[in-house]
Structure 1
Amino acid sequence: MKKIILGIMAIVLFSCNNKGSLQKYFVENSESSNFISLDVTPSIINTEKLTLSQKDKETLSSFEKMNILAFKKDSLNVKVYDVEKEKVKGLLKDEAYQELLKIGSGSEGGALYYVGDEEKINEFVLFANSKENGFAVVRILGDDMNPTRIMNLISLINKSDVKLDEFKALQNMLK
């Protein structure tokens, strides 16, 4: 019995590594005064007035939630901004994140990453950076998503009456 317990403990210890993850980064920084953190559920998309096709319903069912973490840069936290931005870039270099799209330049721009294979994506990550304002990391989580469904989701968000109350803190940060 003692050998079984020691074996289980060894497996747990070896399977838990100290390697950082984007999820861990979100948790560690969600309470920081330098960050705004939002968790958005599918209920933000008000589809009551929309006629949904089967494709739309499949898109919505594949979307679980969206996590947003935004760093507001100001004159007092420039060095912290540089350190935090590099941490996120380092996390996104992990082999789990496949770059799908890159836009902009070094001072302003963004990149879209995904986790999974191209037809069964479990996570999309958008990293957007503005040298003047700060950066944001958006995680879109779901099951069996794909680029077409994400584009359809964006279209549904644009067509629906989005419940903007959840975004007030982020809007205030960008002012």
Structure 2
Amino acid sequence: MKKINKILLLLVAVFAIACNSEPTLQKYYVEHQNDDNFVLIDVPSSLFIGDNSAVSEEDKKVIASIRKANVLALPINETNQQFFTQEKAVMETILKDEKYKVLMSFGSSNRNVKVMYLGEEKAIDEVIVYASDDTKGFAVARLLGDNMNFSAIIKLMKSATNGDLDLNLGVFQNFGSEIKKKSGNTNKKDTISIEVNDSLKVKI
């Protein structure tokens, strides 16, 4: 009986290790945060969302539900083409997990954008925007919070583009500069930008 119990405990331990070794977006971020090929920014909402005392109570609730934003980018340069192909495959394998629910997806053969989320549509824990271009690189932007509502967030982003929301985007300036530096071309415009009009648009 003792031998059976030991075998069962061993099987449980092996199963637990196997489960913990599954790739996740969070693990990927942690594993690559000190990799010189990547550019990473992790910003609490208090740093990029300013004083919005004049906005509606509905918008204040949305703002309060956002904890932080982080972005991980892998720009392509002359020396890392093979590394990019390898890491892009890893990233896309992670995002195929059914827990990442796709809201929209568009692109072409060498350019791809996906908007996904974790949680329930009216109680989202994380909004994910994945954008890749085989000539420029890829980036994954994450908006993390508690019980966020996607429709309300899109509405808030539209308010931001109209200038109705106080945002401190200066905290992201160094991030854009680092992307240019690692891509080997400091003269080109920002590699990736996101704009919200009547629909969500991602430019690469």
Q: How high is the TM-score relative to the length of structure 1?
A: 0.86
Confirm or deny: 8 A CA contact 1:108 1:130 kept in the other structure. Answer: yes
Q: For structure 1, list consecutive stretches of 5 or more residues without a partner in the other structure.
A: 1-5
Higher relative contact order (CA 8 A, sep 6+): 1
Instruction: Give the stretch that moved more between structures: 53-62 or 6-15.
Output: 6-15
In the alignment, which of 13, 24, 27 is matched to residue 21 of structure 1?
A: 24
Answer yes or no: is 1:47 the counterpart of 2:56.
no
| Deviation per residue, 1:124-145 (Å, 9 max, x gap) | 1110112221110011111111
- How far is 1:15 from its partner? 3.6
Q: How high is the TM-score relative to the length of structure 2?
A: 0.74
- How far is 1:98 from its partner? 0.7
Q: Equivalent residue for 2:183? A: none
Answer yes or no: is 1:118 the counterpart of 2:121.
yes
Distance 1:60 1:165 in 2: 18
Distance 1:67 1:12 in 2: 33
| Deviation per residue, 1:100-121 (Å, 9 max, x gap) | 1012213123100111121111
Paired positions, count: 169
Q: Any residues of structure 2 matched to 1:130-149 within 5 Å, and which?
A: 130-149=133-152
In the alignment, which of 147, 165, 169 is matched to residue 170 of structure 2?
A: 165
In the alignment, which of 73, 82, 89 is matched to residue 70 of structure 1?
A: 73
Q: Percent identity?
A: 32
| Paired residue type of 2:173 | K
- How far is 1:8 from its partner? 9.1
Q: Equivalent residue for 2:101? A: 98
- What secondary structure, in the 3-state scheme, does the structure 2 residue paired with 1:76 have? coil
Confirm or deny: 8 A CA contact 2:62 2:149 kept in the other structure. Answer: no
- What secondary structure, in the 3-state scheme, does the structure 2 residue paired with 1:100 have? strand
Distance 1:26 1:114 in 2: 17
| Deviation per residue, 1:45-70 (Å, 9 max, x gap) | 2235x611111111001111111100
Distance 1:74 1:82 in 2: 12
Confirm or deny: 8 A CA contact 1:73 1:81 kept in the other structure. Answer: yes
